[in-house]
Amino acid sequence: EAQVTQNPRYLITVTGKKLTVTCSQNMNHEYMSWYRQDPGLGLRQIYYSMNVEVTDKGDVPEGYKVSRKEKRNFPLILESPSPNQTSLYFCASSLMNSPLHFGNGTRLTVT
Amino acid sequence: DAKTTQPPSMDCAEGRAANLPCNHSTISGNEYVYWYRQIHSQGPQYIIHGLKNNETNEMASLIITEDRKSSTLILPHATLRDTAVYYCIVRGANAGGTSYGKLTFGQGTILTVHP
């Protein structure tokens, strides 16, 4: 089944403890991206990647890192999480000129 | 630099058509209009997209004005399960354009379908 898989679905952590949210797609998509969603603010793009080893900042990249070493994976890294990064995160992927496919989301709480 | 403008909320009676507007007055020639919806906190789901012609699929119809500055998503017979947040975005057609990678979703329109 074609899908975008995010892990974990839920994560509670403490301030400053490095974490990684994984995103994997099985559709051979070149494009992948990360979003965060907060009440009243809609979906905001964090980072995107046009292809392997090609990444760029979205609208809210501060406090996040990404890597794209393989086509199928696009992990989101929080080196030193803070409470203001508590949010619902979505990963998405697409072929060129095609609709985005979204994962089911990761709800992160930083205490 | 928001690229689309949508009303924050709309209501619709079950069984009637829901017409959701989107303004994209700065759209450029190779940018498509895409519509997605999000039910509760699930991942957004693709609905339909178009460039300049009207489009229809099993979920909805998309009407794009001739000048391409606005569009309307039509759910012909809304059901309670269509209650969701609807997002309209514009996206360039190829990786060479600036609007292909960096995407702005905005807050969308909360559509409430009532019995």
pLDDT in tens, B18-76: 999 999 999 988 899 999 999 999 999 999 999 998 999 999 999 999 999 999 999 99
Q: What is the dihedral of CA A49, A47, B103, B78, to 10 degrees?
A: 100
Confidence of residue B97 (pLDDT cuts 50, 70, 90): low
Distance from CA of A109 to the nearest CA of B (A): 15
Q: Tell me whether residues B44 and A45 touch, CB distance under 8 A.
A: no
Q: Residues 70-109, chain B: which have Cβ within 8 Å of A? A: 87, 93-95, 100-108
Beta strands in A42-98 (DSSP E): 42-51, 54-57, 65-66, 76-78, 87-94
Confidence of residue A7 (pLDDT cuts 50, 70, 90): very high
Q: Residue B80 gets which letter from DSSP?
A: G
Q: Scanning the structure block, which residue is given the tokens 């909320």?
A: B9
Per residue in A19-74, pLDDT (tens digit) is: 999 999 999 999 999 999 999 888 999 999 999 999 999 999 999 999 999 999 99
- Among the partner residues A37, A50, A102, nearest to B101 by beta-carbon distance: A50
